[in-house]
Amino acid sequence: MPTATSRAALLAPTLLLSFCLSACSSQTSHQDGSARKQSDPKPDLSALQGRWEQLPDQPGGSGTPRQRVVKEVNGNTETVTTYGPNGQVVRAQTATFRLSRSGPVSVYTVENPQITAGEGDATKGRLQYVYRVHGSEFDEVWGLLPGQEEREVVVKRWRREGAAK
């Protein structure tokens, strides 16, 4: 059975291909006059509202407990909460975000993070990643934007809380 890391490695090329195909269709839409609709992030902002859950399929090894992570989006604010194995809050961070485009690619930018529960430092500065929201799934791909060439590519898939898995 593949590990979480190997699944992410398999998922990354699939998502990258999907983003590339989206870029190609976006370029085609420029030719048919619907480019304005393609570049408007408002439908994505509306689709992102609510609670999203990320639950690893398998534990990360004997020393790493399985953790549930919930992202709650309310307007342009997100709260990401990580829960321990007994359901206790391990860490929560709230931040503002904005959606934009870099060419044909959708970009999610997190700003002004604040730790609201648990320990640790808030993410410093600004975090940007490529995203896609499709029905009850929300994908984040970190490490693909200009200036992130040295960063490890990380793929996170969120499911709308309560959606069938």
What is the residue extent of each domain of the chain? 4-56+66-160
| Confidence band, pLDDT 50/70/90 cuts, at residue 135 | very high
Domain 4-56+66-160 - what CATH class? mainly beta
Buried b (16+ CB within 10 A) or exposed e, 5-30: eebbeeebeebeeebeeeeeebeebe
HSE (side-chain half, CA atoms, 13 Å) at 39: 12
More confident residue, 137 or 23: 137
Local structure of residue 84 (DSSP, 8 states): -
Element (H, E) at 68: strand 68-74
Is the pTM higher than 0.75? Answer: no
Q: Which of 17-21, 48-52, 89-93, 109-113 has the lowest mean pLDDT?
A: 17-21
